Amino acid sequence: MKKFEELKFSLPALKGLSAKNIEEHLKLYGGYVKNSNLILEKIEEMSKDAEKNAYAISELQRRFGFEFCGMRNHEYYFRSFEGGAKSLDDKSVLKKAIENTWGSFDNWLARFKTIAAARGIGWAVLFYDPQTKSLLNAWVDEHHLGNLSGLSFIMGIDMWEHAFMIDYLPSQKKEYISAFFENVNWEVAEENFKKSIGF
């Protein structure tokens, strides 16, 4: 079975997010990659006597969803900082889709920030639904609970405390959310959107 590889991200200095916070956050991402591989190896090994190990395999499979989604979500998150902050062009297909759905980019952003500021750990994610050809905001508990099946991840913000714990207190979520959006390269989100619509 092919192993997942820990990606390396070319991240500039970020406004409001320290190098130390990013360094620690990247270590956690590396853990998701490592654990995804370890779990699959263990499942493979235990499957040699699947009947005897049925319960353990089931529990490992559940854990795999957490680790795998943690890995993938973080890849979207860190990629959104690559290349430095860039705004969403007025002519972009993503901006037009956001405006068609929420009336304006500012309306969408206000709603998205409200979702991100929810109590608890998780992710605020902008998804694209290929069946209805529409954008949807969602809250994803942990990394895997609440992911919307069949939808494409356009952009998202990690709202686990590990994403901001060095720079902000838990009561300062709004400041972290603002810092995140100051650093987003919207061209990355635009590319994610274009791929999802086959543009």
Residue 176: predicted pLDDT? 98
**The pLDDT of residue 1 is above 80:** no
Helix axes 186-197, 93-102, angle to 10 degrees: 80
Q: In the 8-state DSSP scheme, what is residue 121?
A: S
pLDDT at residue 2 tops 90: no
Residue-level pLDDT at 199:
81
Q: What is the pLDDT of residues 125-147, one digit of tens each?
A: 999 999 999 999 999 998 887 77
- Domain regions of the chain by residue span: 19-79, 93-197
CATH placement of domain 93-197: 3.55.40.20
Q: What are the residues whose beta carbons fall under 8 Å from the beta carbon of 139, sequence distance 6 or more?
A: 115, 118, 122, 123, 124, 125, 146
CA distance 195 to 7: 20
Q: Which helix (H) or strand (E) holds 140?
A: strand 134-141
Q: What is residue 44's predicted lDDT score, i.e. its pLDDT? A: 95
Each residue of 147-194: pLDDT tens digit? 788 899 999 999 999 999 999 999 999 999 999 999 999 999 999 999
pLDDT for residue 3 is more than 80: yes
Residue 35 scores a pLDDT above 80 = yes
On whether the CB atoms of residues 161 and 140 are closer than 8 A, the answer is: no
pTM of the model: 0.94
CATH number, span 19-79: 1.10.287
Per the listing, tokens 């493979």 go with 44
C-alpha to C-alpha distance for 41 and 1, rounded to whole angstroms: 9
